[in-house]
Every structure is written in C-alpha cells, then in structure tokens.
C-alpha cells in the first residue's frame, strides 16, 4: 500500500509538469493548500538586504495599507543557503508574511510612506510576477489563518494566466489590520534579487508592494518532437479539470 501511495504522489508531480509544458498558463490550476506550519525548513538565503526583505503595500494615494516581509529558505539540513553552491534540484521555499493596516520599518532602498491607514476584510494576496519553476506546492500558515479568519474558512490558491499565483479569501473575510498571514510557494529557482511586485486587495481598494525575492528565469529548452508527442498524448489521456494536489512536503 505504501508503494502504491508513493507512485500516486510521483504521478501527480509528473502530471503537473506535463500539463504545464503543453497547456501552459492558458487554463487556471487549483492548488491544494499545504500548511506552512508543517514544513521543516533550513536556513534562509541572505540577500542584498539581509535574510528578510521588508517593504510596504501602498495604495493609489501613496498611503501604506500593509506590511510585507519576504524570505527564501533552503530545505532542512542546509547549514548555509548559497544558491551557487547548492546541488541541482534544490527546492526553495518563498515565504511572504503580510500584515494589513500597519507599516513596519523598511529595508533600504525601499521607501516608507508617511501615512499608514487601516485595511480590513482583505480578500486577496497575489504575486505580480510568474512563479517560475513552481513545483506545485503552495499554501499558508493554517495556525495564523485560524486566528484571522472565521471558523471553517479556507483560502483557495490558483495558478492562473502567465503562471501568476493568487491566494483568495472568502468574500466575508475577517482578515485585517494588525493580523499577520504568511503565504508560501516552492520552486526550483533561487531568487534573482529583490524585484517584482505583490498585491493585497479588498472590496474598496488595493495595495501594491514593490520589492521582494523573485525567482531566476528558467533556461530556454526545446523538446524533441518525439517527447512532445508523448506529452501531448498524456494530456489527452488525463483530460478533465486541472486540480493539483500537494504531492509531498519538502
């Protein structure tokens, strides 16, 4: 039975990569959420501004509507997380701690707005860049969510157009000012430096944060014709709705 379960997990990972290779980002993918609290992680990458990148969510009026703290960790067992020295296939876990309605000190060179305002009933957190190298595993802190959301509320995760990851909360979300929620996703790609953008929104507006760890680009490869036909056949055989379940916890 254990071997059968392991084969099923491997099959889900293979299906994720085959489907994305053929269909790409034309069809949204629903990701089954993994609990960040259950992950066993190693040390963080120390980037140009340190292990954590601190910046602000800012609305169209230039007011801070939230705080963002991002980091990237290697798997458990790494005594140092230095991408050029890491073995091929290393999985990197990107974590984004979001606190609406407050603005903590930022890392240079990210400016801090002069005014911070409350921001409540937040219903969305989104990456403003492709989740390059995404391995199909993403989620959030279930413990933090239990404290910030109503009972039995869940956060849905979608991989949509252009490989953008979006975490969506219920319309009646109770998440707001002063409550931290940590979101995460995993990739084979190390960060290329602070950049990109991140967003939070509610029914009345949104805030954008510029600056944070973004994944390095993948090398461009062209599959052999025979491989392409095999992959296409797999996609036609699988069919149906694309729902990706977390295959494992790294």
pLDDT in tens, 131-163: 999 999 999 999 999 999 887 788 999 999 899
- pLDDT value of residue 238: 41
Burial profile 36-50: b = 16 or more Cβ within 10 angstroms, e = fewer: beebebebbbebebe
Asked if residue 12 has pLDDT above 50, the reply is no
pTM for this structure? 0.80
Burial profile 152-173: b = 16 or more Cβ within 10 angstroms, e = fewer: eeebebbbeeebbbbbbbbeeb
Under 8 Å between Cβ of 72 and 41:
no
Mean pLDDT for 95-99 is: 98
For the chain, count helices (H), then strands (E). 3, 16
**Phi and psi based region of residue 211 (left: phi greater than 0; alpha: psi -120 to 50; beta: remaining):** left
The DSSP code for 189 is S
> What confidence category does residue 194 fall into, taking pLDDT thresholds of 50, 70 and 90?
confident
- pLDDT value of residue 231: 45
Mean pLDDT for 63-75 is: 97
């Amino acid at each position: 039975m254990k071997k059968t379960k392991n084969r099923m997990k491997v099959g889900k990972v293979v299906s994720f990569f085959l489907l994305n290779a053929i269909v790409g980002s034309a069809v949204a993918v629903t990701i089954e959420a993994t609990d960040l609290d259950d992950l066993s992680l190693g040390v963080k990458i120390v980037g140009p501004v340190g292990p954590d990148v601190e910046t602000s969510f800012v609305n169209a009026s230039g007011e801070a509507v939230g705080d963002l703290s991002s980091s990237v960790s290697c798997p458990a067992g790494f005594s140092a997380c230095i991408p050029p020295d890491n073995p091929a296939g290393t999985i990197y876990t990107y974590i984004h701690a979001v606190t609406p309605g407050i603005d903590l000190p930022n890392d240079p060179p990210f400016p801090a707005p002069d005014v911070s305002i409350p921001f409540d009933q937040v219903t969305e957190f989104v990456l403003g860049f492709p989740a390059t190298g995404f391995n199909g595993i993403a989620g959030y802190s279930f413990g933090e969510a239990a404290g910030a959301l109503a009972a039995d509320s869940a956060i849905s995760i979608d991989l949509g157009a252009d490989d953008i990851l979006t975490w969506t909360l219920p319309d009646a979300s109770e998440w707001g000012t002063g409550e931290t929620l940590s979101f995460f996703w995993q990739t084979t790609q190390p960060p290329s430096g602070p950049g990109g953008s991140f967003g939070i929104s509610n029914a009345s507006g949104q805030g954008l944060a510029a600056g944070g760890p973004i994944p390095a680009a993948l090398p461009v490869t062209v599959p052999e014709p025979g491989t392409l036909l095999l992959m296409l056949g797999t996609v036609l055989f699988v069919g149906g709705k694309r729902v990706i379940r977390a295959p494992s916890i790294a």
